[in-house]
Amino acid sequence: MVKRSLLVVALMVCLPATLFAQYDYVRISNPFLHKIPIAVPLFKPISGTEPEAMAAQSGADLLAATLEFTRYFNLINRAAFLERPDRTGVTLADIHCKNWRDIGAEFLITGGVTVAGGMVEMELRLFDVFKERMVLGKKYKGKSEDQRKMIHRFCVEVMEQLTGTPGIFESKIAFVSTGDGSKEIYACEFDGYNPQRITRNNSINLSPAWSSDGQWLAYTSYRKGGPDLYITNLTENRGTVFSKEGINISPSWVPGQFMLAATLSFEGDQEIYLLTGSGTVVRRLTRSWGIDVSPTFSPDGKRMAFVSGRAGSPQIFVMDMGSGRTQRLTFEGGYNTNPSWNPVNETIVYCAMTGGVFNIHVIDVKTGASVALTADQGDNESPSWSPDGSLIAFSSTREAGVPRIYVMTAAGTDPRRLLILPGEQTGPKWSPAVAAGR
Amino acid sequence: MAVSLHVSLLDDRHTGSGSFAAWMSLSFGFHLLVLVLLAVSGSYSGCQKRSFPMGAISVDLVSLPGPVSGPSKPAAAVSTAKATPAPPVRESKAPAYEKPAVVPKPKAVVPTKKNTAPVKASPRTAPAPAPAPAAEDTGDAELAKTLAALEQKVSQTQQSVNISGANSSQAGGGQGGGGTGGGGGRAASALEIYNVEMGFQIRKNWVCPLGVDENLQAVIAIHIAADGSLMDLRFEKRSGNDTYDESARKAILKSVPLPPLPRGFVLHKVSLEFTPKDAR
Amino acid sequence: MEKKRLFVMFVMLFAICGLVFTVSCAKQSVKSEAAELETESSMAADEASQMTAEELAEAEAIAAEKAAAREAFVNENIHFDFDKSTLTPAAREILRAKAMWLRDNADTAVVIEGHCDERGTTEYNLALGDRRAKAAKDFLVDMGISASRLSTISYGEERPLDPASNETAWAKNRRAQFVLR
């Protein structure tokens, strides 16, 4: 009985301690690193022929460069690799995940390339080297000159897998360039590759705007002497000219609809109107004496941000399309223009002039808090979001005072020049995720 | 409760007077043991399978494993702390322990200069070191500052540490049987320092893409063995975003092996909460 | 009696047609005015033998004055403050002179161009140029010039007079310009 009582007492003392076995609590926040480390070794030429080796090299290099462009990945230097899939093999059985973890990778992409008779075939595999399994495996076959398209297709799959969105790889950027002596509209691929001229009329062409299916481009052209609105189908080369008295400018398409908003002044004052894609006026949207220009729609098309001079200086306002209720958004600074509404969230990027210099700012629509994304780097104007809302294209005079197109992250980091052409490049406009066009 | 039960059992037994004295002394000794156990066990988390020393708890930082930049400062702090611990610990024995108000302190504290007076009146809030450096920095300087801050604090033991780099404000920890015994004048425990180091190591390895919802929260519980290897890892709370949860898990896996536990510890259990939000 | 009336009607008809033709001919003269001036002065030379030297000098002076006024009309621009389309007093003065010239040359029509300096964003400047041109037009209409003679066009920042990037150049570029059509 003594033993039993002792035991009971002992248990009663120890029990609370075991019941409340404590875990220390450590909070980890504010991470330093933002780019997913990924390894893209050289692709393996399957038969080992010369054209295959070249395609293998170009394919791997393009894949690495494309992933890097997104600013989402950190490409690990090939010199650090501990094994060579282009020699040892590209399947899960061939690779040793520990070799890749040891160099800091979280993911690995291998490729096997076969070239025969002008056709290229690529087997591409994405591995999670921590889970030690293949996450994505695709085979592409097509003409050798379409290798770029295949790599881009694979990148879309990779992004879908890792972020849930298809990314930007099939998008285009339209812009204005003066290289041929006049301001003409061009479009290039998302990474600046393959710029193509779209207008060819030796007058002044401005303000390209993509429809949300990527098939139509609206822009302003002085082809007929004055600023008229051109609405063109890019693949079928047909369209409408909207040419009312006064200015017909700053088009912006309504998401998901064959409708656009534009600033017209045929009734006297510069107001924003809603038009169909065939060039019929539906209704007038703004009703204020003074300039109303540069509309941009929220992702659901229910709200429209625009620039208005109604407060005495150019500021950004937001209008509810249903009720017409309009509220001012920007209160800091005396010159805020060029708004562009993020395609996936409630932020708007715009151009603010402070001290005579233009910089890109981003503002939260709900809170009204704004942050400068560029500073001390010349004049930075015409910001335009990528279709996944992660990157911003803009024009900047930071290099020798000549305007060029740049791309930076939504946080304002990692700016890089997109392309360089004769003359000046301004007014970039990023298309939706998939865009047509020559 | 134990006492009353004991008495009732005694009554049941109805022994002779001689054995009664024996029983009494045994009972007294047992109670004393229990009280001492309770007073001292509050300092440590979990049910540690080890014998712990009584009396002054001092830490020799120089022999601690892992990178500690700026050893001179903590060492100096330790030496001053050594002089003081004896009386306070003895004091702590008498009243069992101070029942702590273990309330999670708000994370957002204005970044003050390091080692200034605590923001709150409560003696358990650590002073805030300087704000975190720019992104992609490894933060070793921060580590040293936070460690120094811990060393110089003369408050009661803390149960939890905030590895955000901006400050190390208090967050709620465990509770229950062991409180946070002891009065003031103690040096930071070895485990606190370990938690800071381990937390930094994991934070340095954590890749979290920009644009992720900053309010996401994933909590992973891990067991660390004496040599720093991982004995267990499981999710206590998932954020709902698989990629995000995986990034947290990978951060831990990339940090293994963690630094070896401080001398005398064989198992350390930690809950790691990952949240992108800037704690500033 | 009926015949007489018919005859009168025919005469009226011809007279009206004739009037119409003379009016339209006059409008054509805007474009060929320069040529006409030449012929005018050469005609004056031809008639020299018939006119006195004094009369000749006077005719030439009038012609020169007309040319100068026309020059002034076309070449003198009005200027605006940054981001403004309101008319300054100086601008009003110039516009008054232009209104007078337009009154004196009732057969002319004008395109008023609105321009901005290179600062500011393209689309906003297109709208601002539009406002500037319209401000000038409205003033002239208020001064009695028929609106049908005045049309406007905006070039925003696309056609600067001075391509430099300094305050002088910018001030020059912030203008409304008058072109005879």
pLDDT of residue B75 exceeding 60: no
pLDDT of residue A423 exceeding 90: yes
ipTM comes to 0.88
Better-predicted residue by pLDDT, B144 or A267 = A267
The values of phi and psi at residue A293, to 5°, are -150, 170
The three-point CA angle C115-C118-C122 to 5° equals: 80
Model pLDDT for residues C89-107, shown as the tens digit of each residue: 999 999 999 999 999 999 9
Model pLDDT for residues C32-42, shown as the tens digit of each residue: 444 555 555 56
Residue A21: its chain B contacts at CB < 8 A?
A: 45-47, 269
Better-predicted residue by pLDDT, A434 or B133 = A434
pLDDT of residue B130 exceeding 60: no
Q: Do A183 and C128 touch (CB under 8 A)?
A: no
Q: Select the residue from A265, A340, A397 to test the C interface by mutation, using most C Cβ atoms within 10 A.
A: A265
Domains of chain A: 36-163 (3.40.50.10070), 172-430 (2.120.10.30)
pLDDT at A360: 98
Asked if the structure places residue B130 within a domain, the reply is yes
Confidence of residue B169 (pLDDT cuts 50, 70, 90): very low
Which chains, if any, share at least 3 CB pairs under 8 A with chain A? B, C
Q: Exposed, middle or buried, A237 (CB in 10 Å: 0-12/13-18/19+)?
A: exposed
Q: Residue A380's closest chain C neighbor by CA? A: C121
Model pLDDT for residues A330-339, shown as the tens digit of each residue: 999 999 999 9
Better-predicted residue by pLDDT, A234 or B105 = A234
Distance separating alpha carbons of residues A302 and A320, to the nearest angstrom: 6
Helix (H, G, I), strand (E, B) or coil at A395: strand
Asked if the structure places residue B210 within a domain, the reply is yes
pLDDT mean over C9-17: 71
Q: Do C134 and A307 touch (CB under 8 A)?
A: no
Distance separating alpha carbons of residues B109 and B280, to the nearest angstrom: 6
Distance from CA of C108 to the nearest CA of A (A): 20
pLDDT at B162: 56
pLDDT of residue A263 exceeding 50: yes
Lowest mean pLDDT among A178-187, A207-216, B154-163, B194-203: B154-163
Q: Do C126 and A338 touch (CB under 8 A)?
A: no
pLDDT at B37: 84
pLDDT at B131: 36
Q: State what percent of residues in chain A have pLDDT above 90.
A: 89
Model pLDDT for residues A69-106, shown as the tens digit of each residue: 999 999 999 999 999 999 999 999 999 999 999 999 99
Lowest mean pLDDT among A48-62, A125-139, A185-199, B82-96: B82-96
pLDDT at B66: 43
Quick one: B238 and B113 in the same domain? yes
Which chains, if any, share at least 3 CB pairs under 8 A with chain C? A
Q: Is B271 part of the contact surface with chain A (CB cutoff 8 Å)?
A: yes
pLDDT mean over A294-312: 96
DSSP A345: S
Q: Is A249 part of the contact surface with chain C (CB cutoff 8 Å)?
A: yes
Interface of B with A in 179-198 (CB under 8 A): 191, 195, 198
Quick one: B68 and B36 in the same domain? no
Q: Is A225 part of the contact surface with chain C (CB cutoff 8 Å)?
A: yes
Q: Is A314 part of the contact surface with chain C (CB cutoff 8 Å)?
A: yes
Quick one: B84 and B207 in the same domain? yes
pLDDT at C5: 77
Confidence of residue B80 (pLDDT cuts 50, 70, 90): very low
pLDDT of residue A43 exceeding 50: yes
* Contact yes or no for A144/A118 (Cβ under 8 A): yes
Domain extents for chain C?
A: 2-71, 77-180
Q: Select the residue from A32, A70, A390 to test the B interface by mutation, using most B Cβ atoms within 10 A.
A: A32
pLDDT mean over B93-114: 39
Q: Do B160 and A72 touch (CB under 8 A)?
A: no
Quick one: B126 and B32 in the same domain? no
Interface of A with C in 383-422 (CB under 8 A): 401
Confidence of residue A2 (pLDDT cuts 50, 70, 90): low
Distance from CA of A36 to the nearest CA of C (A): 37
Distance from CA of A414 to the nearest CA of C (A): 24
In sequence order, the 6+-apart residues with CB closer than 8 A to the CB of A238 are A232
| Domains in chain B, number | 2
Residue A426: its chain C contacts at CB < 8 A?
A: 122
pLDDT at C38: 54
Quick one: B152 and B13 in the same domain? no
Q: Residue A226's closest chain C neighbor by CA? A: C153
Asked if the structure places residue B55 within a domain, the reply is no
pLDDT at B39: 73
Quick one: B32 and B144 in the same domain? no
Asked if the structure places residue B122 within a domain, the reply is yes
Q: Is B35 part of the contact surface with chain A (CB cutoff 8 Å)?
A: no
Model pLDDT for residues C117-158, shown as the tens digit of each residue: 998 899 999 999 999 999 999 999 999 999 999 999 999 999
pLDDT at B191: 87
Q: CA-CA-CA-CA torsion for B53, B59, B65, B71, nearest 10 degrees?
A: -170
Q: Do A106 and B13 touch (CB under 8 A)?
A: no
Lowest mean pLDDT among B83-87, B185-189, B254-258: B83-87
Residue A136: its chain B contacts at CB < 8 A?
A: none
C77-180: CATH number: 3.30.1330.60
Residue B278: its chain A contacts at CB < 8 A?
A: 29-30
Q: Do A250 and C126 touch (CB under 8 A)?
A: yes
Distance separating alpha carbons of residues A23 and B21, to the nearest angstrom: 42
Model pLDDT for residues A167-180, shown as the tens digit of each residue: 999 999 999 999 98
Lowest mean pLDDT among A392-406, B17-31, B56-70: B56-70
pLDDT of residue A127 exceeding 60: yes
User: Of A8, A22, A31, which is closest to B208 when you measure between CB atoms?
Assistant: A31
Q: Do C131 and A291 touch (CB under 8 A)?
A: yes
Q: Select the residue from A23, A38, A163 to test the B interface by mutation, using most B Cβ atoms within 10 A.
A: A23
Quick one: B28 and B167 in the same domain? no
Confidence of residue B210 (pLDDT cuts 50, 70, 90): confident
> SS in 3 state form for chain B?
CHHHHHHHHHHHHCCCHHHHHHHHHHHHHHHHHHHHHHHHHCCCCCCCCCCCCCCCCCCCHHHCCCCCCCCHHHHHHHHHHHHCCHHHHHHHHCCCCCCCCCCCCCCCCCCCCCCCCCCCCCCCCCCCCCCCCCCCCCCHHHHHHHHHHHHHCCCCCCCEEEECCCCCCCCCCCCCCCCCCCCCCCCCCHHHHHHHHHHHHHHHHCECCCCCCCCCCEEEEEEEECCCCEEEEEEEECCCCHHHHHHHHHHHHHCCCCCCCCCCCCEEEEEEEEECCCCC
pLDDT of residue B52 exceeding 80: no
pLDDT at B154: 39
Distance separating alpha carbons of residues A421 and A426, to the nearest angstrom: 11
pLDDT at A276: 97
Q: Residue A159's closest chain B neighbor by CA? A: B243
pLDDT mean over A136-147: 95
Model pLDDT for residues C49-89, shown as the tens digit of each residue: 566 888 888 889 999 988 888 888 999 999 999 999 999 99
pLDDT at A21: 56
Q: Is A171 part of the contact surface with chain C (CB cutoff 8 Å)?
A: no
Q: Do C131 and A381 touch (CB under 8 A)?
A: no
Give the CA distances from residue B240 to residues A42, B213, B217, in Å, rounded to whole numbers and listed in that order. Answer: 35, 11, 9
Asked if the structure places residue B52 within a domain, the reply is no
Q: Is A202 part of the contact surface with chain C (CB cutoff 8 Å)?
A: no
Domain span at residue B8? 2-41
Quick one: B230 and B268 in the same domain? yes
Q: Do C134 and A249 touch (CB under 8 A)?
A: no
Asked if the structure places residue B262 within a domain, the reply is yes
pLDDT mean over A375-392: 96
